[in-house]
Amino acid sequence: MDAQSAPAGRVKPVGRGAKVCAAVLAATLDELAEVGYANLTVEAVAQRAGVHKTTVYRRWKDRETLVVDALTEHVAADLPIPDTGDVASDLRELARLLVTHLTVTHLGVAATMFSDAGRLPEIADVRRRFFADRFRRAAPLVTRAVERGQLPEGTDPALLLKSLIAPIYLRLLVTCEPLDDATADHAAAITLAAARAGVFRAHDAHGQSETH
Amino acid sequence: MDAQSAPAGRVKPVGRGAKVCAAVLAATLDELAEVGYANLTVEAVAQRAGVHKTTVYRRWKDRETLVVDALTEHVAADLPIPDTGDVASDLRELARLLVTHLTVTHLGVAATMFSDAGRLPEIADVRRRFFADRFRRAAPLVTRAVERGQLPEGTDPALLLKSLIAPIYLRLLVTCEPLDDATADHAAAITLAAARAGVFRAHDAHGQSETH
DNA sequence: CGTCCATCGCAACTCCTTGTTGCGTTAGAG
DNA sequence: CTCTAACGCAACAAGGAGTTGCGATGGACG
């Protein structure tokens, strides 16, 4: 199907549609941030986008599809993985990038991914793929540090990375405290200290490597 | 008002009401765990409780009040704070108690507190008071460890405790992995290693005490 | 500059859930 | 057994989810 890019005589006058589509998706994110998924109404989204309700339903099958599209588009940003040569700097930078990514738009949007909208199978998939991709791409950061001798042999990248993001998501979802660079630096410090102590060395079960 | 306990001639035949009330609250928690706050309908709750819809509305003003009551009752369990004489055992036990508390009923109920229902001011208050109370009561666990010389001087109890619960809530809310004792032990190991490295020493800002 | 057609606005509709009201019925304390 | 608070039931208004048909509009192309 090359009818998309080739200017072969009148296929799709998508001049209007693109702008409307973008406006509706942006309005959806704004509404999600303000009232949350449970209280999100299609009419409010349409009104905020300067568009009629039926226009929304013409392009999206139902409310869920709309929310899925809006959130999917929002997380479709592939963050870079730092590589400074020092594991402490790498972790600190990685955490700061995550904090920035979570706070670029309204903070409420990111939290929505983990609220009731997360019960939608599509959103759960988006989340799964997001973390799988990030962990896969950030793993070399850890293995490089092990090769440099900065971290113990057998350090499990996934365990370490989960420890790095845990304090950040705790503030976002549980304690509802603001996210800033200090948050990221603190998370990096915790994880680095634990990693140097060998807490993240791979083992059969996932848990205690500590000699109690 | 002693009319409550004294059997002074016909004041309140609350025989039926109590049972109905408990049944409705239990049904609400079950529904929350199954379909979530966003999809919770009063009729489904009433039907599950074997009660008519109007009966629910007679006792609770609206859906929000019902959910608030059900969740408030559910978290009204004051967990004990361990004191074994060893900080490693204390933290491990504290984490295990939290994991148990989060998984006693359906796992979904605890997560509901942090979903869209958390936008209700009353639920936010319940959460705030829950953590404030827990941190206040668990703080001596940390200060005792400092006095024993098991942790560095100036270790901030709140920072340490947040680090302890962060990996647990990450699994509950973000990665949706099951919670077990291994999860708790791992969280305790991370926090203990970081604490011994002095990451949680109090400072002006909240964050970097690490000499990078 | 004018045509043409996809897209949008609009009104009216059905269905479902919230929340309310009035009346008849039942459970249970005395 | 009696009496009353609490419950079941049917019917109701209000509001949001989706749907449909028709008329208006705006942008791509000739």
Q: What is the pLDDT of residues A197-206, one digit of tens each?
A: 999 998 744 4
Residues B67, B41 share a domain: yes
Q: Does B73 touch chain A (CB under 8 A)?
A: no
Q: Which of B35, B51, B74 is the last residue of a domain?
A: B74
Which of A167, A150, A25 is CA-nearest to residue A99?
A: A167
Q: Which of residues 79-108 of A touch B (CB under 8 A)?
A: 88-89, 92
Q: Name the phi and psi angles at B110, rounded to 5.
A: -60, -45
**Element containing residue B106 per DSSP (H, E):** none
pLDDT of residue A189: 98
d(CA A41, CA A29): 12
> Which residues of chain A make contact with B161, given a CB cutoff of 8 A?
none
Give the residue from chain B lying closest to A131, CA to CA.
B175
Tell me the per-residue pLDDT of B88-104, one tens digit each, with 9 for 90 and over.
999 999 999 999 999 98
A201 forms bridges with which residues in the sheet?
A155
Q: Specify the nucleotide whose C1' lies closest to residue B53 (CA).
A: D8
Give the residue from chain A lying closest to B87, CA to CA.
A212
pTM: 0.89
| A52 CA from D21 C1′ (Å) | 16
Is the predicted pLDDT of residue B204 greater than 70, yes or no?
no
Q: What is the mean pLDDT of residues A156-177?
A: 97
CA of A32 to nearest chain B CA: how many angstroms apart?
10
Question: Is B38 among the domain residues?
Answer: yes
Across the interface, do A190 and B182 touch by the CB < 8 Å criterion?
no
Question: Is B1 among the domain residues?
Answer: no
Is the predicted pLDDT of residue A134 greater than 90, yes or no?
yes
Q: Does A170 touch chain B (CB under 8 A)?
A: yes
Average pLDDT of every residue of chain A: 88
Which CATH number covers residue B51?
1.10.10.60
Residues B173, B82 share a domain: yes
pLDDT of residue A47: 94
pLDDT of residue B212: 42
Residues A111, A151 share a domain: yes
B118-122 contacts, C-beta under 8 A, 24 or more apart: B118/A115, B119/A35, B119/A36, B119/A38, B119/A39, B120/B64, B120/B67, B120/B68, B122/B64, B122/B68, B122/B72
Q: Does B5 touch chain A (CB under 8 A)?
A: no
Is the predicted pLDDT of residue A163 greater than 50, yes or no?
yes
Question: Is A199 among the domain residues?
Answer: yes
Tell me the per-residue pLDDT of B12-53, one tens digit each, with 9 for 90 and over.
555 677 888 999 999 999 999 999 999 999 999 999 999 999
> Which residues of chain A make contact with B176, given a CB cutoff of 8 A?
124
Residues B182, B102 share a domain: yes
pLDDT of residue A12: 53
pLDDT of residue B14: 59
Residue type, A123: I
Domain that holds residue A27: 15-74
Could you tell me if B191 and B162 are in contact, meaning their C-beta atoms sit under 8 angstroms apart? no
pLDDT of residue B45: 95
Q: What is the mean pLDDT of residues A62-86?
A: 91
The Cα-based distances of B50 to B26, B55, B119 in angstroms read: 11, 11, 29
CA closest to C1' of D27 belongs to A15
Highest mean pLDDT among B3-7, B77-81, B127-131, B200-204 belongs to B127-131
> Model confidence at A16, in pLDDT bands (50, 70, 90)?
confident
Is the predicted pLDDT of residue B75 greater than 90, yes or no?
no
